[in-house]
Amino acid sequence: MLNGSILQKLATAHRQPSSTSALSLGVYYKNTLVSLCHALEDCILTCESQPLVLTAFQRGKWYLQEADRYGELAQQGGQIVILAAPDAGFAEHPTSQHSNVSLVSLADEDPVAQEWHLVIWSPTYAAMVLCQELSDQDYGVDGRPQCDRERKFYGFWTFESTLVQEVVTLLVDHIHGYQPNLAQALKTQAESIATVRQTTVSPPLEPVVSRVVDYLQTNHEDLSGTDGQGILGHNLVSNEVQAFLRMAQILDLADAENPNSAAEVAALGEMLGQLLELPAWQLKRLRLAGLLHRLGGLSGSPRPFMPTRPSPTEAPAYPFSCALVPGAQALRTMSRLRAVAQIINHQLEWWNGSGYPAGLAADDIPLESRILGLIVYVQSEVRSLQPPEDSRDLEVWQQQLQACLQQCQQTAGERWDPKLVEMLTLVVTGLLQGITLPMLSPKLSNSLWLLDSVADSESTQALLNRPAPIS
């Protein structure tokens, strides 16, 4: 990373012992970043509040390609600040004449002139792309690519508001070296937005994520056959998965009791799957379903673990024809996640057939759905599957875990698959004896390995029997 760049400053801050989280950095091709930025920018047009938008376009010519688009965004009423090297005369473009558009001309030696940033900060919407282009040394012996869309950038993107706010502060401080008065005004505006956010309920991210996935899929469809199956296409698909993982991450971060619940569900599911000797491809699918399981509760899905027996007209008996809960429906926009959507959709089925949404019974319930439903229940009852350090808290935790296991044993054959409860008994016994779950947070920037190598068949929804490629 370039010394003095915004990305380098943020990464350094998150390597400090006082930092609570490490950044998930990866490599992105230009065609992927264009789709990501356009999707995130378009959401400004539907934002209910006036955002502060800070952008860095490297060279001025890249800004000119987006100038008309930013003219439309400026009509939303928020403040837009564009940082770029003054090499294309863009100050004369009509967009720059808007009263709420400010231009900051970067010096040639400024490391920010090699970065690509889009930072959106508003009371109801926060999103960010933070990248810098690879250096000649990073590109290696092949040098910089001849094709513009194959240029590579290192960084990340996120909806996490705390990170967005950090970068806003870094950029405002950087702007101070060029335009102190503008920086002071931006600081005041950013602080005002932060204050309002504390008392504002942000709308769900589902529409934003759907837009991101749509843009990435459209870009993928526009690629030629070779590129679509190669590194450019894989980069787009990986970011489609990232979009859903990032939405799930935000849901977890909002959980004050345990912001690691999805990771715990994924770890416990993988442990049960290994005891059942599931193949590697199925374990990966179960892990991904665990990471995304909270998406099943989006947009008015029923409360977990309180299913009622559905009527035949509401829930056909065949698992692939029943109505999807909204969160699972969102996942189905990506063909490779349809099997995962099915797993999440049926996690509330009961062994005796009185569950939701299809009233499936016994082995008609997909195996991964049975596993997911059981471990989500355990995690929600105990709240954390990691033993606390305090001895008094540890005793309470052990009692909660034992009580939850007893409840599962009492309802085996009614609510739960009896064989899975037997496996759960082994796992809980191990946890009580000091075995810890292998908690591995997903590296969001390299998520393609969680997918199967071929998309599920729309007609059969059959479980694939081949492992996912590791990218």
CATH number of the domain where residue 331 is located = 1.10.3210.10
The structure's pTM equals: 0.75
Q: Which of 112-116, 224-228, 306-310 has the lowest mean pLDDT?
A: 306-310
**Is 240 inside any structural domain?**
no
How high is the pLDDT of residue 316? 37
pLDDT digits (tens, 9 = 90+) for 84-97: 877 656 677 888 88
If asked whether residues 433 and 299 sit together in one domain, one would say yes
**In this structure, which amino acid lies at residue 310?**
P
Q: Residue 311: what pLDDT?
A: 38
Q: For residue 444, what pLDDT is reported?
A: 54
Claim to verify: residue 25 and residue 172 sit in the same structural domain: yes
Instruction: Look at 219-228, 237-246, 350-359 and tell me which has the smallest mean pLDDT.
Output: 219-228
CB 98 within 8 A of CB 74: yes
- Same domain, residue pair 189 and 305: no
Among 16-20, 119-123, 250-254, 431-435, name the one with the lowest average pLDDT. Answer: 16-20
Give yes or no for a contact between 423 and 304, defined as CB atoms under 8 angstroms apart.
no
Q: Are residues 50 and 107 in the same domain?
A: yes
Q: What is the pLDDT of residue 17?
A: 65
pLDDT at 461 over 50: no
Mean pLDDT of 105-109: 88
- How many CA atoms does the CB half-sphere of 16 hold within 13 Å? 8
Strands 115-121, 52-57: pairing kind: antiparallel
Question: Is the pLDDT score of 300 beyond 60?
Answer: no
- Based on the fold, state whether residues 195 and 254 are members of the same structural domain: no
Q: What is the CA radius of gyration of the chain?
A: 24
C-alpha 134/C-alpha 58 separation (Å) is 13
How many Cβ atoms from other residues are within 10 Å of residue 398's Cβ?
Answer: 16
> Does residue 354 or residue 236 have the better pLDDT?
354
Taking the C-alpha atoms of residue 295 and residue 209, their distance in angstroms, rounded to an integer, is 12
In the DSSP assignment, the letter for residue 107 is P
280: exposed, middle or buried (Cβ count in 10 Å: 0-12, 13-18, 19+): exposed
Tens digits of residue pLDDT in 170-194: 999 999 999 999 999 999 999 999 9
Q: Structurally, how many domains does the chain consist of?
A: 2
Assign 131 a pLDDT band (cuts: 50, 70, 90).
very high
Asked if 342 and 369 count as a contact pair (C-beta separation under 8 A), the reply is yes
Residues 399, 283 within the same domain: yes
Q: Are 11 and 23 in contact (CB under 8 A)?
A: yes
Give 455 or 196, the one with higher predicted confidence: 196
Average pLDDT over residues 399-420: 95
274 in the same domain as 131: no
- Report the alpha-carbon distance of residue 87 to residue 98 in Å, rounded: 20
- Assess whether 168 and 315 both reside in one domain: no
Task: Write out the H or E segment, with its range, that includes residue 121.
Answer: strand 115-121
Euclidean distance between CA atoms 381 and 274, whole angstroms: 23
Tens digits of residue pLDDT in 46-62: 777 889 999 987 665 55
| Confidence check: pLDDT of 82 > 80 | yes
393 with 261, same domain?
A: yes
Predicted confidence at residue 19, as pLDDT, reads 58
Q: Is residue 208 part of a domain?
A: no
Give the pLDDT band of residue 227 (cuts 50, 70, 90): low
Whether 412 maps to a domain, the answer reads: yes
Give CA separation, 18 vs 21, 30, 259, 314, 471, in Å.
9, 33, 18, 52, 32
Burial class (CB in 10 A: 0-12, 13-18, 19+), 463: middle
Answer yes or no: is pLDDT of 318 > 50. no
What average pLDDT does the segment 200-217 reach?
A: 77
Range of the structural domain that residue 427 is part of: 248-450
Provide, for the chain, the percentages of residues in helix, strand and coil under a 3-state DSSP scheme, each rounded to the nearest 5. Answer: 55, 10, 35
The better pLDDT of the pair 447, 57 is held by 57
Long-range contacts of 44-48 (CB under 8 A, 24+ apart): 44/73, 44/76, 44/78, 44/120, 44/125, 45/72, 45/73, 45/76, 46/207, 47/76, 47/122, 47/124, 47/125, 48/124, 48/203
Kindly indicate the confidence band of residue 372, based on its pLDDT and cuts at 50, 70 and 90.
very high
Range of 107-121, 234-248, 403-417, 441-455 with top mean pLDDT:
403-417
